[in-house]
Amino acid sequence: MFSLAGKTALVTGAGSGIGRASAILFAEAGARILACDKSEAVNETVEAIVAAGGEARARIMDAGVEADVIDAIAEAVEAFDRLDVIYANAGITGGLPGFFDTTVETWSEVLRVNLIGPFLAIKHGAPALMKSGGGSIICTASVAGLRYGAGPVAYSASKAGVINLVQHACQSLVGSGIRVNAICPGLTETGMTKPLYDHARAAGKEGRIGQLNPLQRGGLPEEIAATALFLASPASSYVDGQAIAVDGGLSTSHPVAPSTQLAAHAALDALKDD
């Protein structure tokens, strides 16, 4: 059910983090991979796949530039004869400015990469998937796109847009055999969140990372990649137009202060004593 044997997958943002983990996992499931990223680090992803016996090619590209997206899709089809899966994962935070400190330039760049990028992947990728008889398009959104409190304003707005985008795409591709879904990661250790993790570790507060979610920890790229594999594979054949949170339970509630959680822990301890 989770096999991608004989399939081709294009993954953006594959130079690190969730994109790299997903490209490697897709390859382990049997897919041929076109790994795309702005960074030369995407070559390391391909090297890891090839060393493990998989088949992959690297492409340096900007996921928010239409010509780059068109050319990447063309390369995937030319190199591997078909395209079955697109994971539009590339994204940026735009930094951590406050609402009134966020510039128009930041808004424009974040939306270009995080929202226009997935739109281009769907628009130009869908025809290639139809020629393969259908397939799966996956977009990385975020729990920050579900409600306030999990990211800066431009980033959060862009990810909310991704969630709505996959709903529109789902309806626009009726009868095509293409499913379009979004993954909403919670706090996950990637290149994008590295400064936060580094700061916490330097301050001796690594144990507090992810403390506001029920699992009380941050996520790993491989945990998000596992959901991406599910959505890419036949195992999710009846899942379409959805935004799936993979966040340790964070999105079940608005974030609460640690003092509130202490009260919850006291109640839980009382139940254990009973």
Whole-number mean pLDDT of the chain? 90
Q: Round to whole Å and give the CA distance between 244 and 222.
A: 16
The pLDDT value recorded for residue 94 is 92
Please give the positions annotated as active site.
155
SS3 at position 272: helix
Question: So what's the pLDDT on residue 212?
Answer: 73
What ranges make up the beta strands (E) of the chain? 8-12, 32-37, 56-60, 85-88, 135-140, 178-185, 243-246
Residue 260: what pLDDT? Answer: 47
Alpha carbon distance 124, 67 (integer Å): 10
State how far the Cα of 45 lies from the Cα of 58, in Å rounded to an integer.
Answer: 8
Q: Which two tokens stand for residue 273?
A: 């004593």
Decide: 119 and 63 in contact? Cβ < 8 Å.
Answer: no
32: DSSP letter: E
* Mean pLDDT computed over 218-236: 96
- How many residues comprise the chain? 274
Q: Into which CATH architecture does domain 8-273 fall? A: 3-Layer(aba) Sandwich (3.40)
CB 3 within 8 A of CB 24: no
Q: Please, how many CA atoms are within 13 Å of residue 272, restricted to the half-sphere of its CB?
A: 6
14-34 pLDDT, tens digit per residue, is: 999 999 999 999 999 999 999
- Positive or negative, the CA dihedral 17, 20, 23, 29 is negative
- Region 192-221: what's the mean pLDDT? 71
Are the C-beta atoms of 59 and 67 separated by less than 8 Å?
no
pLDDT single digits (tens) 80-126: 999 999 999 999 999 888 888 999 999 999 999 999 999 999 999 99
Higher-confidence residue: 251 or 58? 58
DSSP string, 46-87: HHHHHHTT--EEEEE--TT-HHHHHHHHHHHHHHHS---EEE
Q: Is the dihedral of CA 27, 246, 135, 72 positive or negative?
A: negative
Best mean pLDDT range from 47-56, 201-210, 242-251: 47-56
CA 140 – CA 152 distance, rounded (Å): 16
Among candidate residues 212, 208, 210, 206, the one with its CA nearest the CA of residue 264: 212
Question: Which residues make Cβ contacts (< 8 Å) with residue 242, sequence separation at least 6?
Answer: 166, 181, 182
Question: What pLDDT does 196 receive?
Answer: 62
| pLDDT value of residue 120 | 98
Per-residue pLDDT reduced to its tens digit, 47-67: 999 999 999 999 999 999 999
pTM beyond 0.85, yes or no: yes
Report domain extents, the chain.
8-273
Residue whose token pair is 């969630």: 163
Checking if the pLDDT of 257 tops 60, the result is no
